[in-house]
Structure 1
Amino acid sequence: MAGKEEVGKNEEKSKYDDYSLKEVPKHSRYGFFNIFLVFSSVYGAIAVIWGGGALGYGLTFSQAVIAVLSGTLVLAVLGSLIASIGAYSGLSTYVMWRHPLGRLGGKIAGFLLISITTGIGWYAVETWLFGIVISEIFPNNPFFSVGVASIWGGILMIIMTYIGYRMLSFMSYFTIPFHIWLIGIGIAIVLSLKGGFTAVVSATPTHYMSLLDGISAIIGLYSAGTIISSDISRFSKSAKDAASAWISHIIFLYPFLILGGVAIVLVTGSYLITNAMLDLGMGVGVLLIIIFGQFIINTDNLYSGSLSLVNLYPMRREIASIINGIIGTAIAAFIGFIAGSSITPFEDFISLLGDFLPAMGGIVIADFFIVRKYFNKMNDPYKRYQFTPGNVYYNVNIAGVLALALGSIVGFFINLGIPAVNSLITGLLTYPLLYYLIKSLGKNPEILPYNYEGGDLK
């Protein structure tokens, strides 16, 4: 009887916490179709269409095709590997980082990630974009101005994030058809009213962007989602399902959405994708669908950020989502009041992501598939990122921390080639090399041991 009561307590505790500091149990896992829909909804949403609009402002359509296909290939490989790691371990992104970076290293890196990207950064940008769309639907109304709409829109998104993965799963079943319909209609209008496909191919962008910058922007636009794909894939029944779901959505959905945005902006010449859609006569109903898409992707941004904050300082996940949401909403409102509808902050932000975030993806992949398997002789992938009570773990992994610093520096400062790829390769290669060199000197790259006693991680 006592055993049943204890199980009930554990289930109640996890109602909204979503196993934030432990492995997702088998009974809470989903199959390929659910994971595919959630990936497609939370990552293949309106920000991708906005990204396509930004590319259409600086690249020709043929250049955009090359940039999208090149970036998609990198993202497909990177995301499938990280998604499979999430399924093997059942752990959130930031708990997984405790292996290649150490307990303290993972906490600090996760906090920096949410500060700059997902939980606060991406959330703030998406909330600001929401304010822009609202202001276009209801112009000249103070309540619907960019800054004010960012505030009340952010509050609604916080409420949705409180529920967690189940809300993401529920919304995914009817979000993706809306996005496909949205871009499909836009492309059809472009082809019928603006001179057909010939007009798209021959259109000249109003500003200049190099092809390499375009590829880096493509990777940067999706790099945050790729790095945190394990936050979704940890709910997958198998690594095969997780990897297949990621590859399927990134190959079939991402190019379609982003190139659709490119085509619409190129032929209309509008600076903002939403303005371009209005110019095509797509109407308020389409913009309302855009708003719906922003709600689900931003719910995921805030959801991931809440997992990171819980990893930094143990608390209820839903409380963490409220804290991150308030900060992100305040930033969005500030951008809205200062920048208004200028898309410059969005362009700068995705470029920044592409410069340094991929390094962490390279490090995780190298740690799981090279260091754990060949250096530490852990052949069973299900045990490589498993926390076992009574075992000794470490607060800092020197090799991982140094590799992350090097990868970020290379991505940010080295302009030769594609910064995002430079960052990824640097992290992927330097981490196992540093780990091996430190080991060959008779030292342990992992320092400051601590004992895991079971239950939720601290």
Structure 2
Amino acid sequence: MAGEEEIKSKYDDYSLKEVPKDSRYGFFNVFLVFSSVYGAIAVIWAGGALGYGLTFSQAIIAVLSGTVVLGILGALTAAVGAYSGLSTYVLWRHPLGRWGGKIAGLLLITITTGIGWYAVETWLFGIVMNEIFPDNPFFSVGIAAIWGGILMIIMTYIGYKMLSFLSYFTIPFHIWLIAIGIAIVLALKGGFATVMAATPTSKMGLLDGISATIGLYSAGTIISPDIARFAKSAKDASMAWLAHIIFLYPFLILGGVAIVLATGSYLITNAMLDLGMGVGVLLIIVFGQFIINTDNLYSGSLSLVNLYPMRREIASIINGVIGTAIAAYVGFTAGSSITPFENFISLLGDFLPAMGGIVVADFFIVKKYLNKIDDPHKRYQFISGNIYYNVNLAGILALALGSIVGFFVNAGIPAMNSLLTGFLSYIIVYYIFIKLGKKPELFPYVYEGGILK
């Protein structure tokens, strides 16, 4: 195993240990980082996707319903991150066990943040660049995805300080971007009545819209501890999450819906060009994609370090190269088709919420009432000399059940099915083990202090 001296670097960002109190930030900083890395251009793109399949009144219902779910789940998981000071994937060692947490983290970065979401955002970057320079081969979707991905890898190398720095510039740009777009729609396209009366080009069910709304942000809610662990308190972390999800998320996504419905264009970038918003607007979109993808790659690097201890910045390069290659492939094969994006956010909504439900169930219910750990600061501590476990059967079974239900059960809202199944099944399975006089945790080991292995 790699020792502490082998992975120590100024860019490591406490990837395998608790963030110390003197390296934490207040509400405003955490709010800005949340808002910029989770509330940026992908949300506007998702608004465009919803506007392609829902009426504006349906979109309002879908977005507000999804916002409630995301607000509650994200506030709770952010609190876990602040209490523990641990990254998402390290704290998963409690509800899933050390081996279970490593495997689940690998699956998450493969499908979502570190590689999946990163690849999607890099592909979207290629689309925008191609919109700006449609006749230049250097700016074709696939080629732009390659050099854009390289630039994003360089930014991710630095870590949280880069995210914090960029956040001060990103939020005003995107608020301005949507505000101007809506103003132009109202002025040139017949006002708000035109938006309300517009018929979407395609067809999407309301429940599918709600699930897609939750799915878009489900990865963000689950990995919120990656940012929240830098908060000075759980209150700061939770309030920062709620503030950004309530005030920014509906505004950005519904703005995207309105613009696409009013113009009839299925791509938000095309719609903005149709409104005469200009190339400068697309450059702002590019900037937003850079920062949200920096966070995707940052989170993925933390997961890879948890799987196998290494320098975090090296892990970001590995994930980035793989994700960029996938983005380039999609760019060369799918071009500017929005279908891969729609399918991706729907897939996330089907199974990812289960993991959020399991973490909330373990930290706030099982640890408090079944394990009798009242102090939330101690529930996810790693204390030298204490015994921990490599496998937690309750967590693994709950994750499997939640994912299966979310993916295969069509009744209701898949994202909610996945979330509630993960939450309830974890508590029930853990309780059954206790009643039988058994522990769901298997294969004990002693934590010897220092860097987690």
Q: Corresponding residue for 2:159?
A: 164
1:384 corresponds to which of 372, 379, 384: 379
Q: Which amino acid aligns with 1:378?
A: I
- TM-score, normalised by the number of residues in structure 1: 0.97
2: distance between equivalents of 1:428 and 1:257? 29
1: distance between equivalents of 2:425 and 2:276? 52
SS in 1 for 2:163: helix
Give structure 1 regions of 4+ aligned residues with deviation exceeding 6 angstroms. Answer: none
1: distance between equivalents of 2:17 and 2:411? 41
1: distance between equivalents of 2:440 and 2:221? 27
Q: Corresponding residue for 1:413?
A: 408
Q: Which amino acid aligns with 2:296?
A: N
Across the aligned residues of Structure 1 and Structure 2, the Cα RMSD in angstroms comes to 0.9
1:227 corresponds to which of 219, 222, 228: 222
1: distance between equivalents of 2:143 and 2:342? 22
Cα pair 2:9 2:311 within 8 Å, conserved: no
2:319 corresponds to which of 324, 332, 335: 324
Q: Corresponding residue for 2:247?
A: 252
1: distance between equivalents of 2:241 and 2:197? 33
Q: Deviations over 1:230-283 (max 9, x none)?
A: 000000000000000000000000000000000000010001000000000000
1:397 corresponds to which of 392, 395, 398: 392
Shift of 1:443: 1.4
Q: Corresponding residue for 2:452?
A: 457
Q: Corresponding residue for 2:348?
A: 353
Q: Corresponding residue for 2:47?
A: 52
2: distance between equivalents of 1:190 and 1:267? 7
2: distance between equivalents of 1:111 and 1:27? 30
Q: Deviations over 1:313-372 (max 9, x none)?
A: 000000000000000000000000000000000000000000000000000000000000
1: distance between equivalents of 2:349 and 2:79? 22
2: distance between equivalents of 1:191 and 1:96? 47
2: distance between equivalents of 1:258 and 1:16? 33
Q: Corresponding residue for 2:286?
A: 291
2: distance between equivalents of 1:444 and 1:89? 23
Shift of 1:285: 0.3
1: distance between equivalents of 2:8 and 2:444? 29
1:34 corresponds to which of 19, 24, 29: 29
SS in 2 for 1:403: helix
Q: Which amino acid aligns with 1:36?
A: F
Shift of 1:441: 1.2
Shift of 1:14: 4.6
Cα pair 2:93 2:100 within 8 Å, conserved: yes
Q: Corresponding residue for 2:113?
A: 118
2: distance between equivalents of 1:206 and 1:154? 32
Q: Which sections of structure 1, spanning at least 5 residues, go unmatched?
A: 1-8
2: distance between equivalents of 1:280 and 1:25? 49
SS in 2 for 1:99: helix
Q: Which sections of structure 2, spanning at least 5 residues, go unmatched?
A: none
Shift of 1:411: 0.1
- TM-score, normalised by the number of residues in structure 2: 0.98
Q: Corresponding residue for 1:179?
A: 174
Q: Which amino acid aligns with 1:55?
A: L
**Paired residues for 1:80-99 under 5 Å:** 80-99=75-94
Shift of 1:438: 1.2
1: distance between equivalents of 2:231 and 2:27? 7
2: distance between equivalents of 1:323 and 1:116? 15
The percentage of aligned residue pairs carrying the same residue is: 83
